[in-house]
A and B are shown apart, each in its own frame.
Chain A
Amino acid sequence: MELVCPAGSLPALKTAVDNGADAVYFGFRDSTNARQFAGLNFNDKRAGEGIEYAHSKGCRVFCAINTYPQPDGWEQWKGAVDRAAGLGVDAIILADMGLLDYAANKYPHIPRHLSVQGSATSYEALSFYKDNFDIRRAVLPRVLSLDQVRGVAKHSPVELEVFAFGSLCIMAEGRCYLSSYLTDESPNTRGACSPAKAVRWQETPQGLESRLNDVLIDRYGPGESAGYPTLCKGRFEVEGSVYHAIEEPVSLSTLDMLPKLKELGISAVKIEGRQRSPAYIADVARTWRHALDNMEARPDDYKVDPAWRNTLSGLSEGGLTTLGAYHRKWK
């Protein structure tokens, strides 16, 4: 199985390559990718340097152009596909049907991967993308149980990539408009979820408050660690109870199920986190490289090294990891 790592910047890209990534993925410095963060992502020159570095070490490079262009953005998004093609990337990760159509017709020789934002959760949906745009691979949304992944994989006409580690998105990606409902920017339209421009922190007599476009997302007691106010991970009131009504701040980790994923025929595992520092990428990439190498060498005798688990817990939201939807009992 291939280890696919995030590259939010050139140093992060090089770190991922040096620590064992088989492939890295990056986006341009604009809203054409679903992780638009200030100060991150690539211009053409840096992307060119990154691709050259990765290729010199035998690592592949994917370019994510996985937001949805509206009519006034069409030329810019189309231009992003042209730029990625010109830079010599190994695959383009796309979500929008129009852009997939454009890329398939103009650059048939460059592999197309369906982004998780394309929201394909069944083999019929995968067949739609395969038949219409000849995609080579699809990234599955983080909403399927392991059994459901098995069902998809059994009939999938394309390679599958699944999320292995990182922030847990519990909504079907590509179909979540919660962020634009509060702030006017969503992953689909602007490549941003709970965008920083709308975040406000305030010390109050009730505690530290985090707000998103003035909406109270969470309030922390003394000594409680505060997380970024991603709106689905806030504490809200439902019928008189205040709790994490949608999801706790927790990270996804599939370290324990690597052999199962391999057995299902999954082609690649993906690490989330283009917004993360090179130090974070180094630890995560190295840990997953060890785990994958270990599993490939002895698939029947795979054991999670406690040291890997320790490293990853230290890098997780709230210090906690979950199997998320892969776990049938998850609720």
Chain B
Amino acid sequence: MMKLSLGPILWFWSKQSVFDFYGKAAEWPVDTIYLGEAVCSRRRELKPDDWFDMARDLKACGKEVVLSTQTLIESEADLRRLRRICDQNEFMVEANDQSAVQVAARHNIPFITGPSMNLYNVASLKVLARQGLKGWNLPVELGKVSLEELIKGLRAEGLDLPAEVFAWGFLPLAWSSRCFTARHYNLPKDNCEFRCLEHPDGMELRSRESQELFRLNGISTLSGSRYDLMRELPDMERMGVSSVRLSPEHLGMDEVVKRFDQVRRGEAPATDPLQLVEAPPCNGYWYGKPGMELVGQGQSVP
């Protein structure tokens, strides 16, 4: 049976909200939990030791815990945080940048790559396998055709590298040195007043025709529609996908997890995309279409 994973929280939540969230997540039927700040170096509500403590608690609850690293590494301070995450021998690391691969490999820490690492072919996966890669996420802009080829290619090479797919949530699409939230409030990035805290699911960016295009979240830009591959789970199971990733939201996540769990167990039909925070669903990338599109809505699973 495919594993369910909770990706790192991509938004900026208060310390208490984060503790509350994982307190509940400990009880959910998820197998793997990614912990840590993957977006912005200024988001430090939780100190490294807070994350380590939480990681141990969740591990004690039977969860596999992976420590996530920052996606855009720009400064010496970013590297210090990265080294701190790799300076342990209890947990795997989610590498979201080549810096993390380099540091993890040097510390002999096994790692999984997050969806922002550019892994488009088997040759690239082989390079990382030599460094200690234990699992990988499909880049979000790729779909099932490429994934199927990648899984087949890995098998042909005799490489056992479990594949994970970002299957639910707002897609992380871009990272910048500019903070778009600070920009909206006319604040310098270095003195952003942590306004992201006021937007626990980002800020909606709409076209002038009110089309929901993106969500601004500090230095990152996410999709305006929510990626939802619930109906595609049987497809993934058949292809040999090991794990599906659900990206945390601050409302209703327990329902999302419950529903995905039922579907992976074959206990419920994969219909009715979940609507929690209001946002249109999309699944275009999976079908080789523009990511924002929705293919086959309302049809039964093929």
Contact = CB atoms under 8 A, between A and B. Distances in A.
Interface string A176-191: 1110111110101100
A45 interface: no
Given A180-B290, A183-B290, A71 B184 contact: no
A155 to B, nearest CB: 9
Interface stretch (A2-10, A52-60, A237-245, A255-263): A237-245
Q: Which 10 A-B pairs have the closest CB atoms?
A: A98-B123, A71-B149, A143-B177, A181-B291, A124-B99, A98-B124, A68-B120, A128-B102, A125-B98, A97-B124
Interface of A: 68-72, 74, 95-102, 118-122, 124-125, 127-129, 131-132, 143-145, 148, 151, 170-172, 174-178, 180-184, 186, 188-189, 213, 215-217, 219, 232, 234-239, 241-242, 245-247, 325, 328-331
Interface stretch (B16-24, B74-82, B234-242): B74-82
Contacts of B4: none
B180 A216 contact: no
Contacts of B254: none
Contact of A128 (B101, B178, B180, B205): B101
A330 B121 CA distance: 36
A329 B180 CA distance: 14
Contact of A246 (B123, B206, B208, B221): B221
Nearest to A78: B123
B118 interface: yes
Interface string B156-188: 000000000000000101111111101110011
Contacts of B124: 96-98, 101
Contact of A331 (B123, B179, B207, B288): B179
Interface of B: 71-76, 78-79, 82, 97-99, 101-103, 116, 118-128, 139-142, 145-146, 149-150, 153, 171, 173-180, 182-184, 187-190, 203-211, 213-214, 216, 221, 223, 284-285, 288-292
B79 A124 contact: yes
Nearest to A96: B124
B127 A181 contact: no
A172 B176 contact: yes
A186 B123 CA distance: 21
A189 B141 CA distance: 9
29 contacts: A70-B121, A96-B118, A96-B120, A98-B120, A98-B123, A101-B127, A124-B98, A124-B103, A128-B101, A129-B98, A144-B74, A170-B176, A171-B221, A172-B174, A175-B174, A180-B141, A181-B141, A183-B290, A184-B291, A188-B139, A236-B206, A236-B213, A237-B205, A237-B210, A245-B216, A246-B205, A325-B177, A331-B178, A331-B187
Contacts of B140: 177
A242 B209 CA distance: 11
Contacts of A72: 145-146, 149
Contacts of A175: 71-72, 116, 118, 174-175
Contacts of A213: 290
A112 to B, nearest CB: 14
B291 A180 contact: yes
Contacts of A95: 118
Nearest to B210: A237
Contacts of A100: 127
A97 B149 contact: no
Nearest to A117: B118
A133 B200 CA distance: 41
A186 B74 contact: no
B131 to A, nearest CB: 8
A296 B285 CA distance: 49
Contact of B173 (A143, A151, A181): A181
Contact of B149 (A70, A101, A125, A232): A70
Q: From B122, B204, B206, B208, name the one whose CB has the most chain A CB atoms within 10 angstroms.
A: B208
A148 B140 CA distance: 28
Nearest to A174: B118
B280 to A, nearest CB: 13
Nearest to B223: A181
Nearest to A237: B206
Contacts of B116: 175
A140 B207 CA distance: 32
A241 B223 CA distance: 19
Contact of A71 (B78, B121, B127, B139): B121
Contacts of B119: 97
Nearest to B75: A148
A331 B177 CA distance: 8
Contact of A98 (B82, B101, B127, B205): B127
A171 B176 contact: yes
B216 to A, nearest CB: 7
Contact of B216 (A71, A97, A238): A238
Nearest to A324: B177
Nearest to A247: B178
Nearest to B182: A331
Q: From A74, A184, A186, name the one whose CB has the most chain B CB atoms within 10 angstroms.
A: A184
Contact of A239 (B175, B176, B203): B203
Contacts of B203: 238-239
A121 B79 contact: no
A24 to B, nearest CB: 26
Given A68-B118, A70-B149, A145 B102 contact: no
Contacts of B206: 236-238
Contacts of A74: 121-123
Contacts of B188: 329, 331
Contacts of A71: 121-122, 146, 149-150, 153
Given A99-B123, A176-B175, 7 more contacts: A69-B120, A124-B99, A143-B72, A178-B173, A181-B141, A181-B291, A237-B210
